[in-house]
Amino acid sequence: MLVDGDWLDPEPLDELCRKIRRMIYPRWVLRKWGDSLMVNYRYKPTQAQVYQALDYCSRPTFTQLEGNEWLADSIRGERKVRVWGKWDEEPKWHLDESEKKVHSLVALQKGKCPVCGEPIKWGK
């Protein structure tokens, strides 16, 4: 569970956990086994720790292989999909967007005009 803000006191945390349990479990499960769900709650005091928690929680999980066998085969054995650096191989797949739009976005990200390629001078 990711919560924006400071440390939560036990009472608001318990109430939040109860709400989450009711959203996750159907009523018959709550009636049969009770209102119990283990929630791992840790406060992250530094920005680096918060980023690491977000990175871990938002990591990709690949659970539906139907129709995606080619993608599963292309990333088999990868341990981390989000990597910063330079890719020297051919692309494993390509996006179905227009090339012009992609090139425009890449140019803007690099601070260049997508039309003429000149550096952009931002005004205040």
Q: What is the pLDDT of residues 16-72, one digit of tens each?
A: 888 888 888 888 888 888 777 777 778 888 878 887 887 777 666 667 777 778 777
C-alpha dist (Å) from residue 111 to 5, 52, 87, 115, 123 = 34, 28, 21, 12, 13
Q: What is the pLDDT of residues 96-110, one digit of tens each?
A: 656 667 778 888 888
Tally the C-alpha atoms within 13 A of residue 21's C-alpha that lie toward its C-beta: 18
Confidence of residue 73 (pLDDT cuts 50, 70, 90): confident
In the chain, domain spans: 1-60, 94-124
pLDDT at residue 95, rounded to an integer: 59
- Cα(117)–Cα(101) distance, rounded to whole angstroms? 14
Q: Is the per-residue pLDDT at 92 higher than 60?
A: yes
